[in-house]
Amino acid sequence: MKYIVANFKMYKTVQEAEEYAKEFKKLVKKCPNKVAVCPSFVCISPMAKIFKGLVQVGAQNCSDKEEGAFTGEVSAQMLKSAGASVTILGHSERRRDFKETDKLICEKIKTAQKNGLETIVCLADDGGEGYKQNIRAQVKDLFTGVDKSKEIVIAFEPVWAIGTGKTMNTGDIKPVVETIKNEARKVLKYEPKVLYGGSVNSGNSGEILALDCVDGLLVGGASKNPQEFAKICFAK
């Protein structure tokens, strides 16, 4: 079973997300894979009510703080109470546009774990030269001190592949994902699942998922259309 995750980014109003959920639910009823949809904060509760557990609902970010005077932030507990059971953390857009660091993301992981949220942690690497050293350093900074009894899913999304229509060759994905698993195993003491992301669509998802080392997909643009995302969810 693979894990297929939609990242809606800052798209869809509540009404649009509800329409999506109603249609998507019918399309993935018999899906053999685990499926999650991560809409904006305001769409979590309405989507969770429609999916009723058939599709997992998640957030795209979560505060590192439990609660307090942090205007504009959303806590892990709030997300749980809205119906989210997982959160994406450390997406490259948050690193780039909101200056999130590995240190902050590590704190977010700990807070999410403490509050019973599963975590999908994005690594910032482009799969280019020096990826081994970069991954080793990042994995150490991100995962030192986290709760090792709770499973962390890692997402590998080459920055140049996000939203560009360019995907990494499957031959190039494999060594990077294997490096991530090896390095993460040293820190986490278990082998994490690794998702691939970056311009995944229904045309290339099958080939990427055919790689044994790839445990699933993180899908942005192509997840916005329920029919297209359902096709990706059924890829074996």
- Interacting residue ranges for ligand PGA, rule: CB under 6 A: 7, 157, 162-163, 197-200, 218-222
Question: Is 40 or 115 the residue whose CB approaches ligand PGA more closely?
Answer: 40
CA atoms of 98 and 103, how far apart (whole Å): 14
Nearest-approach distance from CB 124 to ligand PGA, in angstroms? 12
Output 111 or 201, the one with its CB closest to ligand PGA. Answer: 201
CB distance 124 to 159 below 8 Å: yes
Residue 129 a catalytic site member: no
The answer to whether the beta carbons of residues 123 and 109 sit under 8 Å apart is no
Can you give 127-163 as a three-state secondary structure string? CCCCHHHHHHHHHHHHHCCCCCCCCEEEEECCHHHCC
Of 145 and 163, which CB lies nearer to ligand PGA in the complex structure?
163
Q: How far is the CB of 11 from ligand PGA (least distance, A)?
A: 10
Q: Which of 23, 66, 107, 157 is catalytic?
A: 157
**Residue among 91, 93, 100, 183 flagged as catalytic:** 91
**Using CB atoms, what's the residue nearest to ligand PGA?**
220
- C-alpha torsion sign, points 67, 94, 194, 39: positive
Nearest approach in angstroms of CB 77 to ligand PGA is: 25
Tell me the closest approach of the beta carbon of residue 52 to ligand PGA, in angstroms: 25
Q: Which is nearer to ligand PGA, 112 or 187 (by Cβ)?
A: 112
- Identify which of 130, 133, 148 has the alpha carbon closest to the alpha carbon of residue 191: 148
Q: Is 228 a catalytic residue?
A: no
State the catalytic residues. Answer: 91, 157
